[in-house]
Amino acid sequence: MSDHLRALPFWLLIVSLVSSAVAAADTPFPLAPSVVNSARTAGAMEVTLAEAILMTLENNRSLAVQRLTPAMVQSFEEEARAAFDPVLSAGAAIQRTEGPRPPDLDDKQVNKAHEGFIALDTYFPTGTGVAVEASAGRTDAGWPGDGPHVSRLGVTVSQFLLQGFGRPVNLARLRQAQVQTRISIYELQGFGEALVAQVEHAYWDYALSLRQIEIVRESLKLAEQQLADTRAMIDVGALAQAELPAVQAEVARQRQGLIDVKNAVATNRLRLLHLVNPPGRQWWDREVTLAHPPVIPQVFIDGASVYVDEGLRRRPEVNQAHLEINRGELEVVQTRNGLLPRLELFVNLGKSGYAGSFGGAFSDLDSDHYDARVGVALEYPLVNRGAKARYRRARLGREQAEKALDNLRQLVEMDIRIAHLEVNRTREQISASGATRQWQEEKLRIETEKFRVGRSTNLLVAQAQQDLLVSRIDEVRAVVDYLKSLTDLYRSAGTLLERRGIEMPSSAEADFN
């Protein structure tokens, strides 16, 4: 297994929002360290989009929780490797037995024994077990007087010949644990991409609401000026009193809209702060200003098929689905082996020493006292329904994973193509909304001039003001929608993190060695 997977927690989202990456063509906000430092003070924050992303990756609590998952999952690898760890065991015992008196003795029979052993056992991925044991003891059972000291040094080798034979079967659990670790990396990547996309959306929503409040205030100021002019003209008799309600209603409507926009600004500020989670206390009350307004990035949009190809290769969900198939294959290998009977070949060899002392018994190990045992053991379930059910379930699970991948690939392609259409739509809306705003400005100018010469009414002027207000907001919203649609396109293609200069170990490079 590659070193970067062994060095968990590998993804502190190895954040390298370096200036060159962040200032890429599709990211209109360069990184400014001075602004980052000022953003971390207890007062107001002024941040760019890149800084908001950086602070989120450093401070967001949801991400902090998610980062722990791969390290937790990787612990199952060590647990699976433990099956091949050597085991050292030792023990000692003293035994005394009192039995009925033999016919030729006046007293009851007493047998005494003491023994001790130490052994080392290990199991290899080939299905081979090896145990080395040394023992020593003494018993007087069956011996006149005290019996001799007995020592033994032995080795036992066993080999599974059918069920449990070979590395593929015995390493299946470890392989599955390694696959699950890689899956958790892709899950973290997907979470990171979703979080970055969420930050960008929140940033642009806040930018839109800030621009909206400026536009509404300007429109309210214009309506209030129109009200003042109307009252002045009524005072000199140039207008009838009936013209006043229309402009008063427009002023009231603009003030009503200002209340809603102020609430939208406060709400979007809180959402952005929650994602960024700046250090310090009472940050809910911190003011947030954006260093740059929404601008149209100079990016080249490839054809939809280019993003589809990228998405099918790089989307975390697709890579997870591939790994699920791999995990299913390992389960099939394991359960298919379970259909075989258990046939075990074993060899047991030992050397024994006998002497009147403990040391002498071990010195006598080079004598011709030995024991040897060779044999086979067979275990064959007559029905074996459990193993057959597990094998069938594993095959169905693998087939299900393959069909799920086919379905996911289709859904991913549809997702990318819809996102690509949305990018084109919002890009076209920018110029269209700009033209609409220009004509609405001209319409208001004409209506205002007509009103001044008595050829229009306050109602028509108010309607023109309202139409201009809507068109100005729509123009800004079109730019914001375009920026958000680019984010969604990059996320759907699985390249958002890379485009934002965020690096993480590629789990696709991990191997199972």
Residues 123-150: pLDDT tens digits?
Answer: 999 999 999 998 887 766 555 556 677 7
pLDDT over 80 (residue 74): yes
Confidence of residue 28 (pLDDT cuts 50, 70, 90): very low
Helix axes 385-452, 304-314, angle to 10 degrees: 140
Q: What is the pLDDT of residue 371?
A: 81
- For residue 100, whether the previous peptide bond is cis, meaning omega lies within 30 degrees of 0, is no
Confidence of residue 488 (pLDDT cuts 50, 70, 90): very high
What are 440-474's pLDDT values in tens digits? 889 888 988 888 877 878 888 888 888 888 888 89
Structure tokens at 492: 């759907």
Give the SS3 label for residue 155.
strand
Across 104-113, 154-163, 339-348, 357-366, least confident range: 357-366
Strand pairing report for 45-47 and 128-139: unpaired
Dist CA 217 CA 206 (whole Å): 17
The closest of 452, 21, 479 to 225, measured between CA atoms, is 452
Helix axes 316-337, 385-452, angle to 10 degrees: 170
Strand pairing report for 370-379 and 109-123: unpaired
Q: What is the pLDDT of residue 103?
A: 61
pLDDT over 90 (residue 401): yes
Please state the rounded mean pLDDT for residues 295-311.
90
Centre a 10 Å sphere on the Cβ of residue 39 and count the other Cβ atoms it contains.
24
User: For 82-170, where are the alpha helices, taking DSSP H only?
Assistant: 167-170
Please state the rounded mean pLDDT for residues 382-389.
91
Across 325-334, 382-391, 459-468, 491-500, least confident range: 459-468
One CATH from 3.40.50.150, 1.20.1600.10, 3.40.50.720, 3.40.50.2300 for 49-80+173-330+391-509: 1.20.1600.10
Dist CA 299 CA 166 (whole Å): 55
pLDDT over 50 (residue 301): yes
Dist CA 31 CA 18 (whole Å): 8
Query: Mapped to the 3 state alphabet, what secondary structure does 163-185 carry?
Result: CCCCHHHHCHHHHHHHHHHHHHH
Confidence of residue 72 (pLDDT cuts 50, 70, 90): very high
In this prediction the pTM is 0.79
pLDDT over 50 (residue 11): no
470-483 CB burial, b ≥16 within 10 A, e <16: ebbbbbbbbbbbbb
The closest of 117, 170, 144 to 334, measured between CA atoms, is 170
SS3 content of the chain, % helix, strand, coil (to 5): 60, 15, 25
Asked if 1 contacts 178 with a C-beta cutoff of 8 angstroms, the reply is: yes
Place of tokens 């329904």: 385
- C-alpha to C-alpha distances, 250 to 221, 232, 286, 461, 473, nearest whole angstrom: 11, 17, 34, 10, 17
Please state the rounded mean pLDDT for residues 371-384.
89
For the chain, percent of residues with pLDDT exceeding 90: 50
Nearest-10 Cα torsion for 459, 462, 468, 470: -100
Return the biggest CA–CA distance within the chain: 148
The CB-side HSE value for 248 (13 A sphere, CA atoms) comes to 6
Across 180-194, 375-389, 412-426, 441-455, least confident range: 441-455
pLDDT over 80 (residue 17): no
Dist CA 399 CA 401 (whole Å): 5
pLDDT over 90 (residue 305): yes
Confidence of residue 119 (pLDDT cuts 50, 70, 90): very high
Structure tokens at 29: 């906000």
Please state the rounded mean pLDDT for residues 201-211.
93
Q: What is the pLDDT of residue 227?
A: 86
Structure tokens at 436: 């609409």
Dist CA 1 CA 432 (whole Å): 55
Asked if 141 contacts 111 with a C-beta cutoff of 8 angstroms, the reply is: yes
Q: What is the pLDDT of residue 225?
A: 86
Give the SS3 label for residue 152.
strand
Give the SS3 label for residue 364.
helix
Q: What is the pLDDT of residue 505?
A: 56
User: For 339-457, where are the alpha helices, taking DSSP H only?
Assistant: 358-363, 385-452
For the chain, percent of residues with pLDDT exceeding 70: 83
Q: What is the pLDDT of residue 362?
A: 59
Across 27-41, 296-310, 345-359, 445-459, least confident range: 27-41
pLDDT over 60 (residue 361): no
Asked if 196 contacts 53 with a C-beta cutoff of 8 angstroms, the reply is: yes
Please state the rounded mean pLDDT for residues 270-285.
85
Dist CA 22 CA 431 (whole Å): 27
Helix axes 458-492, 304-314, angle to 10 degrees: 50
Residue type, 243: E
Average pLDDT, the chain: 83
Place of tokens 């819809």: 418
Please state the rounded mean pLDDT for residues 207-223.
89
pLDDT over 70 (residue 3): no
